[in-house]
Amino acid sequence: AQSVAQPEDQVNVAEGNPLTVKCTYSVSGNPYLFWYVQYPNRGLQFLLKYITGDNLVKGSYGFEAEFNKSQTSFHLKKPSALVSDSALYFCAVRVPYSSASKIIFGSGTRLSIRP
């Protein structure tokens, strides 16, 4: 079965420290991978994506993610966390199927940045 896993329900980091939010996937073929963020009482916003090419992709708000094919992972990272980064983060994968395909999401990781 195709799936996306975010093994941590919550990640706590001090402001100014680096952060990592983990994501692994199990999908046949070459998936497209995404990260989305949900701020309190707001809709989901796109952060970044991996399609092909460089394994390190950069996105909005200083976030980046590293695609690792051998480990089937796509961890989200930021060198220096801000309190305003506190939110719910979702990893997602587009399942290859025709030209518009199902997108499945992980269960989400709540990121809490303390001052």
Partner 1 sequence: GAGVSQSPSNKVTEKGKDVELRCDPISGHTALYWYRQSLGQGLEFLIYFQGNSAPDKSGLPSDRFSAERTGGSVSTLTIQRTQQEDSAVYLCASSSRLAGGNTGELFFGEGSRLTVL
Contacts of partner 1 in 35-94 (CB under 8 A): 36, 42-46, 49, 51, 88, 90, 92, 94
- Closest approach, Cβ 39 to partner 1, in A, equals 12
Q: What is the 3-state secondary structure (H, E, C) of the chain?
A: CCEEECCCCEEEEECCCCEEECCEEECCCCCEEEEEEECCCCCEEEEEEECCCCCEEECHHHCEEEEECCCCEEEEEECCCCHHHCEEEEEEEECCECECCCEEECCCEEEEEEC
Q: Is 100 in the site for partner 1 (CB under 8 A)?
A: yes
Of 23, 108, 111, 113, which one interacts with partner 1 (CB under 8 A)?
Answer: 108
In the complex, the residues that contact partner 1 under the rule CB under 8 A are 32, 34, 36, 42-46, 49, 51, 88, 90, 92, 94, 97-108, 110
